[in-house]
Structure 1
Amino acid sequence: MNLVVSTVFVFILGTILGSFLNVVIYRLPRRLSVVRPGSRCPHCQTPIRSYDNIPLVSFLILRGRCRTCRALISWRYPLVEAAAGVLLASLWVHFAPSAAWVPFIADAVFALMLVAVFSIDLDHQIVPNAITYSGLAVGLLLAIPQGRAVPSVLSALGAGAFFLLIAILSRGGMGGGDIKLAAMMGAFLSWPAVAVALLLAFTLGAGGGLVLMGLRKRTRKDPIPFGPSLAVGGVIALFAADGLLRWYLNAP
């Protein structure tokens, strides 16, 4: 199977996993099972049939509406599916030529978890323990066959401790979910990539906050979820940490 064909296959697989992520994103904050019952319209609760649940395709065929009640379907659903597909396909293109299967699986799991965190924290201002705890465990376990178990543990402890210190000094300015998410990111990325991710997150968070205040969408007293910034920083670091470090170290 050549790279083009396999990449298309991985993209399709990514959209399928993205469809499941949509279930996680909707149900996990509501403390609902992500397994049962099957997918339903959130408006009329009609079960969604298999032919109406094809990632990306069904949304286009139905023109973004429920077949039964004609309620609008959020654009979040196809965007999450597309993001998952693009991320997995991009990772496949990077790892497939060298047959680095364990790093591919680790980075794919990490990327999908970050997509879920981005959406959930944006909507509900929470980072579920179910994601951070399981992600931390998976990140540490998958670091073992890659020969970086110790760096993974140290990076997780370092990132978590750094955010805990910020939370203490700011008297609650940093949420507990963000602390656990930082530790999870350390487990997957290790040093120095996790430092790049966190620096990017602070930059994006500060910039986004200033923009929202400039548009009068938020004030200084309003809480702004930091999970989305961490998620974006993590994804960027996943693909570009080495390049960004080289650019920074070689900058005049």
Structure 2
Amino acid sequence: MFGLSIGSFINVIIYRLPRSLSIIYPSSTCPSCGARIKFYDNIPILSYVILVGKCRECGSRISPLYPIVEFLTGVLLYLLFLKYFYYSYFLLHINEFNIGYFRDYIWGQLNYFFTFAFFIIIIISIAFIDLFHRIIPDILNILLIVSGFVANIFLLHKPIMFSLYGFIIPGLFFYFIAFFYETVKKKEGLGGGDIKLIAGIGSYLGLIGAIFTIFVGSIFALVGFMLFFVFQKLTNAKTVSYDFKIPFGPFLSLAAVYYIFYGHSLIKIYINFIKLY
């Protein structure tokens, strides 16, 4: 329920931030008629189902993006809870001798949960804004970078170099790629928003996490490009274009979230595979 409610607020960010509107005031309104949405019509997912995806006042269709974002946020935060607390609550045997250890362990896990929950909230906002508007607002990238340093230093107690390496090296790598592409092709390849995004992801996940994100995000982007091309060809073969652009932000965001849940396991499998040969 916490995740669904946060997802509802993320919808506000996705809609208002690209339009330079306040995310705090006024309260939620219908995009079509401007009518204020009552609190009982603003319950995540449930209100959309009850209203059959329409505004109560004017009957205009409400985008299914709203319940999708709410559901996605709820699921990801629930999975994050399972990642950091399932073992704690169901598998540890607690007694009077290890209660102190358990308390410290829970606080440590709580810090990890809040760190990556905040990361997921920002990254979902970035992904959907970039997907539909082809921009990544600087305020979100700056928030991502700053919170990455703060969380790693003060909550996870990691050395500042962990975030610093993750911030500088991938950011410079993307910058030089963008510079080289623009110099050779005379047009933009990677936008400034993508450069700041990978720097922000690196400030949270460190250098290894950022490298993983770049590699896996590129694979996701290639698959997305091919699927879009096939879809374009199937729908209208006469207008197939090899020069269409797809935003990179959503694929980097997807890869970064994938790293949080499975990155360390996949890296261990890769290292063990390398050792065999």
Asked whether the two chains share a fold, i.e. TM above 0.5, the reply is yes
Deviation of the 1:219 alpha carbon: 2.6
Aligned equivalents of 2:228 and 2:247: distance in 1?
12
Deviation of the 1:207 alpha carbon: 1.5
Provide Cα deviations, 1:53-106, integer angstroms capped at 9, x if missing partner.
011111111111111111111111001001111111111122232421221111
Q: Is the 8 A contact 1:194 1:237 kept in 2?
A: no
Provide the residue aligned with 1:15 in structure 2.
4
Q: Is the 8 A contact 1:159 1:186 kept in 2?
A: yes
Provide Cα deviations, 1:24-75, integer angstroms capped at 9, x if missing partner.
0000000100011110011111000100001111111111111111111111
Match of 2:174 among 150, 163, 183: 163
How many residue pairs match? The answer is 241
Aligned equivalents of 1:20 and 1:158: distance in 2?
33
Provide the residue aligned with 1:198 in structure 2.
214
Moved more, 202-211 or 214-223: 214-223
Question: Does residue 248 in structure 1 map to residue 258 in structure 2?
Answer: no
Aligned equivalents of 1:222 and 1:249: distance in 2?
37
RMSD, matched Cα: 1.3
Residue 110 of structure 1 aligns with an amino acid whose one-letter code is F
Residue 119 of structure 2 aligns with an amino acid whose one-letter code is F
Provide Cα deviations, 1:163-194, integer angstroms capped at 9, x if missing partner.
11110111121000000000010011113122
Provide the residue aligned with 1:94 in structure 2.
83
The structure with the largest alpha-carbon Rg is 2
Identity %: 35
Query: TM-score of the superposition, structure 2-length normalised?
Result: 0.84
Aligned equivalents of 2:149 and 2:76: distance in 1?
21
Provide the residue aligned with 1:140 in structure 2.
149
Unmatched tracts of structure 2, length 5 or more: 89-104, 183-187, 234-239
Query: TM-score of the superposition, structure 1-length normalised?
Result: 0.92
Question: Does residue 51 in structure 1 map to residue 61 in structure 2?
Answer: no
Q: Is the 8 A contact 1:28 1:34 kept in 2?
A: yes
Question: Does residue 181 in structure 1 map to residue 197 in structure 2?
Answer: yes
Aligned equivalents of 2:213 and 2:266: distance in 1?
10
Unmatched tracts of structure 1, length 5 or more: 1-11
